[in-house]
Amino acid sequence: MQIKTSKIYFDEQLYLESGRILEGYTLAYESYGELNSDKSNAIVVFHALTGSHHAAGKYEGDSKAGWWDPLIGDGKVLDTTKYFVICVNVLGSCFGSSGPLSETKKGRPPLRLKFPVITISDMVSAQMSVFKSLGIKKAYAVIGGSLGGMQALCVGVEYPQFTDRVIMLASTHATSPWAISFNKLAMEGIVKDKRFQDGNYKKEDFEEIPLNGFAIGRMAGHISFLSPSSMQKKFGRNYVETDGLYELFGRFQVERYMEYNGYNFAKRFDPLSYIYIIKAMNIFDASRNWDSLSDSLKNIEAKMTLISFRGDMLFMPSEMETIRDALRDLGRGERVEYYCVDSSYGHDAFLIEYDKFDFYIKKALEN
C-alpha cells in the first residue's frame, strides 16, 4: 500500500460560518493508493474527535498502526489497489492542520483563545480546498464515524454533487444534551486548571506532566465511549494486584485503566484543540440553517448508508433512525439503508469490532 503524508498551505481567505475569516490556513492529510486517470476513485475518510489524518499503515518506528488500519489497505474493504483513500486532519486539530496554537500568516504568534469558533461545515469547507487542489471533483464515497459521520452528513447536505455514496457510523444529525454534558466536563476541567493559564501555555508544557484537569475530563468522556457491558467484560471487579484492598487509594483494574488512558491522552493531545473541536461537535445541527431536518436532508442526492451500534450510549441508534425516518418521509426510502449492529461494546465499536460492520461498508461501495 502506497502511503503519502502531506501538508498544503492555502494562501486564501476561509469564510467561516460565524462570519469570521481565516487569513490563510494549513491542512495536513494522508493518502493511500493512487488516483486513477479521471480521478474518480477517491474515497474520503473523515476522522473522529481524537483521531488524525493517520488512518492506516505505520510510520517508521511506530508500534501502532493508523486508527482504521484493519479497513484500509491492499485487498481490504477500502481496497487501495482500487481506490485512492484520503483522510484530512480537521481544521482546529493539533496534528498539522491550522488550529489555536498554529502560527498565523506572516509568522505572527498563535491566536490561542482568539482563534475563531469553527463548525463542522467550516471543517468540510476547508477540506474541499484539498480535494480541489488534487483535481478531485467527485469522490467515489465519503465515510466517517462519530465526528467523522457529522462531516459525512455535512457533505451530503451542503455538497450534494460531490459524491453518490455517504456512509455514516455511530453519529448523529445533532449533538444531544447527553453528549454535550460529557464534553462540558472536559471543557471545565481544562479551563479551570491553573496550568492552562487562559490558553497561554507553551506547547511542550504538558509533554511530561499532563494537564490534570484535561486528564480527568478525558476520563469522564471516555466512559461515554464504552458501555457497562464492555467494562464488565474487560475488567469485572478485578483489583490491581499491587494495591491493598483496604488502602484508601487502592484501585480496581478499571480505575487504573481510566488513569492510564486519561493522563496519557492529555500528554499527546493539545487541550486548546480539544475544546475547539468539542465546541464544533456541540453546536453541530444539520438543520440549523434550514427550517427543519427534513428541509435539510432533501438536498441529499447520494445513497445513504447509516450504521449504528446497539450499545452506543453517546450517539444512540435512535438518533440515526431519525435520519432514516426523515429520508423515508421525503420519499427517499430506496436511497437509504440503515443497520443497527448488535454490539455491546459502546460508541467505540466502530473503531474496534470491524468484523461486525465491514461487510455493510463493502456493500455500500459495491452498489
Q: What value does the mean pLDDT take over residues 195-202?
A: 97
- Where in the sequence of the chain do the CATH 3.40.50.1820 domains occur? 3-175+285-366
pLDDT higher than 80, residue 132:
yes
Following DSSP, what letter does each residue of 144-179 receive, concatenated? EETHHHHHHHHHHHH-TTSBSEEEEES--SB--HHH
Separation CA 137–CA 44 (nearest Å)? 12
pLDDT higher than 90, residue 284:
yes
- Active site annotation includes 52: no
pLDDT higher than 90, residue 306:
yes
Among 79, 122, 312, 348, which one carries the catalytic annotation? Answer: 312
Return left, alpha or beta for 177; rule: phi > 0 is left, psi -120 to 50 is alpha, else beta: alpha
The CATH H-level superfamily of 3-175+285-366 is Alpha/Beta hydrolase fold, catalytic domain (3.40.50.1820)
pLDDT at 107: 72
Average pLDDT for the chain: 96
pLDDT level of residue 103 (50, 70, 90 thresholds): confident
pLDDT higher than 80, residue 105:
no
The proportion of the chain whose per-residue pLDDT surpasses 70, expressed as a percent, equals 100
Helices (H) and strands (E) in the chain, counts: 10, 10
pLDDT higher than 80, residue 106:
no
What is the C-alpha radius of gyration for the chain, rounded to an integer number of angstroms?
20
CA 72 centroid distance within chain: 16
- Active site annotation includes 347: yes
pLDDT at 96: 96
∠ CA 175-180-183, rounded to 5°: 125
Q: What value does the mean pLDDT take over residues 280-307?
A: 97
pLDDT level of residue 62 (50, 70, 90 thresholds): confident
Return the closest-CA partner of residue 240 out of 223, 218, 222, 258: 258
Q: What value does the mean pLDDT take over residues 303-327?
A: 98
Among 93, 102, 146, 224, which one carries the catalytic annotation? Answer: 146
pLDDT higher than 90, residue 63:
no
pLDDT at 59: 86
- The CATH number given to 179-279 is 1.10.1740.110
Cβ-contact 52, 29 below 8 angstroms: no
pLDDT higher than 90, residue 108:
no
pLDDT higher than 90, residue 357:
yes
pLDDT at 1: 87
- Active site annotation includes 229: no
CA 70 centroid distance within chain: 17
For 344, other C-beta atoms within 10 Å of its C-beta total 16
pLDDT level of residue 126 (50, 70, 90 thresholds): very high
Among 47, 54, 222, 347, which one carries the catalytic annotation? Answer: 347
- Where in the sequence of the chain do the CATH 1.10.1740.110 domains occur? 179-279
The predicted-structure confidence for 206-262, as pLDDT tens digits, reads as follows 999 999 999 999 999 999 999 999 999 999 999 999 999 999 999 999 999 999 999
pLDDT at 60: 83
The predicted-structure confidence for 143-181, as pLDDT tens digits, reads as follows 999 999 999 999 999 999 999 999 999 999 999 999 999
Beta bridge mates, 32:
3, 85
Which residues, including other chains, have CB under 8 Å from residue 266's CB and lie 6 or more apart? 206, 210, 211, 214, 215, 218
pLDDT at 234: 95
Q: How much is the pTM?
A: 0.97
Residues 347-365 as b/e (b if ≥16 CB within 10 A, e otherwise) read bbbbbebbebbeebbeebb
